[in-house]
Structure 1
Amino acid sequence: MKVEEAIGRQIARLREARGMSLSELGEEVGRYLDKPWRRQAVHQAERGRRAFTAAELTALALALDTTIPVLLHADAGADAESVELPGTTLTADEYRALLLHAGKDAPLDGVEELILALHDIGEVLARPTLARLAKIGRVAEQV
């Protein structure tokens, strides 16, 4: 998949998780840019049919209450796809490694990976069934 598609998938996933419509996300992005994105612009972004400027990635991260590395995150798993750049193709593992600074002088080494993991855990815990089970567990501990 192209890098724009990886970003687009994340935008769609995050927008849906927040219960936002295409138009709502476009309006929210517009708070940080000169003008709002139209519904069609958000749709094109989610389909990976547009490149993103640094300002647009920043506005999307703010509008979706996330970070830029999360926007760049490619889905992991057994069926993980390679990521295509104009001049090369990276394996899914190589692409994910780019998002995590592993230099010996990096004081925040691994923090980005932890943030991504916590985000994923938060999404799982936000599922209604798991939320009810957690509430039942808390009540059981009190009894």
Structure 2
Amino acid sequence: MLTIEEVIGTRIQQRREQLGLSQAKLGEMLAATLGKPWSRQAVSLAEKGGRAFVAAELVALAESLDISIAQLFVPSTGLGGKVLLPSGHLMPVTALMQLAGSPASSPDAHSIRTEEAAARIMAMAADIGELSDQVSVLGTKLWHATAELAGRVGAETKDEDQK
């Protein structure tokens, strides 16, 4: 289980490495938004989850790493875990994902969207199964009603023929 700061730190490190940036270079890039750079040690501390972030820092990190702020909150641990908040509350990763807005370009978003789509497909399949059963019941009722009506029409015709 990770703290929210560790989730953000892990995402910073992953994205920084994807972009081929050193910690020192990322620190320099942050100066464009924050007005002063972070040291390599400050970036390292953030990546280890040892730093609480203010809003401007999240904006600067997202801008420098060319990702959305929401993507900083997307854990790389999958959907099964929980994130430890400062209050001690354990938030399910799925709830954190909903709050973060399930970003479209995150590495985990594809698997999350796939899992969500699979769950929706399974729900639709269950609905289709129920509808199929209902259609089958209605079909049987219609067949019986048609047979009964045909029997009545046949009986009436036979009565008229006998008159």
Q: Do both proteins adopt the same fold according to a TM-score greater than 0.5, normalized to the shorter chain?
A: yes
The Cα shift of 1:76 comes to: 4.6
Alignment of 1:25-44 (within 5 A): 25-44=26-45
Q: Highest CA radius of gyration, 1 or 2? A: 2
Contact 2:3-2:83 at 8 Å conserved across structures: yes
Alignment partner of 1:46 is 2:36: no
| 1:81-108 C-alpha deviation (Å, 9 max, x unpaired) | 31011221111111112112xxxxxxxx
Say which SS state the counterpart of residue 42 (structure 1) adopts. Answer: helix
C-alpha RMSD over aligned residues:
2.1
How far apart, in 2, do the equivalents of 1:119 and 1:96 lie?
9
Going from structure 1 to structure 2, the CA distance change for 1:120 and 1:40 (only over 3 Å counts) comes to farther
In the alignment, structure 2 segments of 5+ residues that lack a partner are 112-163
Secondary structure of the corresponding residue to residue 84 of structure 2: strand
TM-score by length of 1: 0.69
The amino acid across from 1:6 in the alignment is V
**Cα separation, partners in 2 of 1:119 and 1:2, compared to 1, 3 Å:** closer
Structure 1 unmatched ranges of 5 or more? 101-111, 122-143
* Structure 1 residues 54 and 96, CA gap change in structure 2 (3 angstroms): same
The CA distance in 2 between the partners of 1:119 and 1:30, in whole Å, is 29
Residues 120/31 of structure 1: CA separation in 2 closer, same or farther (3 Å cut): farther
Structure 2 equivalent of residue 96 of structure 1: 97
- Is 1:69 equivalent to 2:70 in the alignment? yes
Instruction: Deviation per CA, 1:14-65: give whole Å up to 9, x if none.
Output: 0000000000000001111121000000000000000000000000011111
AA aligned to 1:82 is K
Q: Give the aligned partner of residue 83 of structure 1.
A: 83
**More helix by proportion, 1 or 2?**
2
Q: What TM-score results when the alignment is normalised by the length of structure 2? A: 0.61
- Give the % identical residues: 39
SS at structure 1 position matched to 2:90: strand
Whether 1:116 aligns to 2:117 is no
Asked if the contact 2:103/2:109 (under 8 Å) is kept, the reply is no
Task: Say if 1:85 and 1:115 are closer, same or farther in 2 by CA, change over 3 A.
Answer: same
